[in-house]
């Protein structure tokens, strides 16, 4: 059973997740497309009926806009799940890979580009443009740095272009530990570090 959250945003996400779980038990919202359509309808109804406090209106409108703009590619279920985990304090209990993926997904919604590079592209320092907000990860390093369960077993370098100031609060929110290397070839380079053993 999911514990009822304390914050308003966590409560919104919790309500959506519970509604989806009930719909799935009833044989609805079983596919990604059905889940997307269910969330869109649910949000639309919540907005029309003014079920939630006014302070959540921008969040509801943002989710609706994402759903209309990108369709099922908006991955609304993942966004709602991330909102729940981040605002309820449950995110820190997830694997580093899950939290890293949440960070990348959030950056995408903020207009960032995400590139997985081959070894040759990584070595040559390929980038889409110096001012383009983008995150670059070496594909082989990504696969070799994580276990099947999502545990980070060795440091993972990621490169950033564009204005990277906004990424630091996001890293903190996703409970990711990073170090920073000196700026080189127009990249800000961060090193994602394994969680300290508890």
pLDDT at residue 197, as a whole number: 60
Has residue 130 got a pLDDT over 80? no
pLDDT in tens, 10-36: 889 999 999 999 999 999 999 999 999
Task: Work out the number of other CB atoms within 10 angstroms of the CB of residue 145.
Answer: 21
Of the candidates 119, 137, 118, 116, the residue with the CA atom closest to the CA atom of residue 187:
137
| H/E element, 107 | helix 96-109
Has residue 5 got a pLDDT over 60? no
Integer Cα distance of 116 and 100 in angstroms: 14
Going by pLDDT thresholds of 50, 70 and 90, the confidence category of residue 2 is very low
Q: What is the mean pLDDT of residues 173-196?
A: 90
Has residue 161 got a pLDDT over 60? yes
pLDDT at residue 39, as a whole number: 96
Cβ pair 176, 96 in contact under 8 A: yes
Q: Which residue has the higher pLDDT, 106 or 193?
A: 193
Q: Please, what is the angle between helix 32-49 and helix 76-88, to 10°?
A: 60
Q: What is the mean pLDDT of residues 98-108?
A: 88
Query: Can you give the residue ranges of every domain in the chain?
Result: 8-88, 94-193
pLDDT at residue 138, as a whole number: 96
Predicted TM-score of the model (pTM): 0.69
Contacts of 120 (CB under 8 A, 6+ apart): none
pLDDT at residue 7, as a whole number: 80
Q: What is the mean pLDDT of residues 79-98?
A: 83
Going by pLDDT thresholds of 50, 70 and 90, the confidence category of residue 67 is very high
Q: Which residue has the higher pLDDT, 174 or 158?
A: 158
């Amino acid at each position: 059973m999911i514990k009822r959250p304390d914050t308003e945003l966590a409560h919104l996400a919790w309500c959506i997740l519970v509604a989806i779980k009930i719909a799935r038990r009833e044989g609805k919202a079983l596919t990604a497309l059905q889940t997307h359509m269910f969330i869109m309808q649910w949000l639309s109804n919540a907005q029309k009926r003014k079920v939630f406090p006014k302070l959540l209106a921008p969040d509801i409108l943002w989710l609706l806009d994402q759903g209309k703009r990108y369709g099922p590619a908006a991955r609304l279920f993942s966004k709602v799940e991330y909102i729940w985990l981040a605002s309820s304090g449950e995110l820190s209990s997830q694997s580093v890979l899950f939290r890293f993926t949440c960070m990348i997904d959030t950056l995408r919604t903020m207009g960032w580009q995400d590139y997985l590079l081959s070894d040759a592209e990584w070595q040559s320092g390929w980038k889409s443009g110096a001012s383009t907000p983008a995150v670059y990860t070496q594909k082989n390093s990504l696969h070799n740095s994580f276990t099947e369960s999502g545990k980070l077993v060795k440091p993972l370098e990621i490169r950033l272009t564009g204005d990277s100031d906004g990424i630091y609060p996001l890293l903190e929110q996703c409970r990711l530990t990073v170090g920073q290397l000196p700026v080189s070839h127009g990249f800000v380079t961060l090193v994602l570090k394994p969680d300290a053993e508890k």
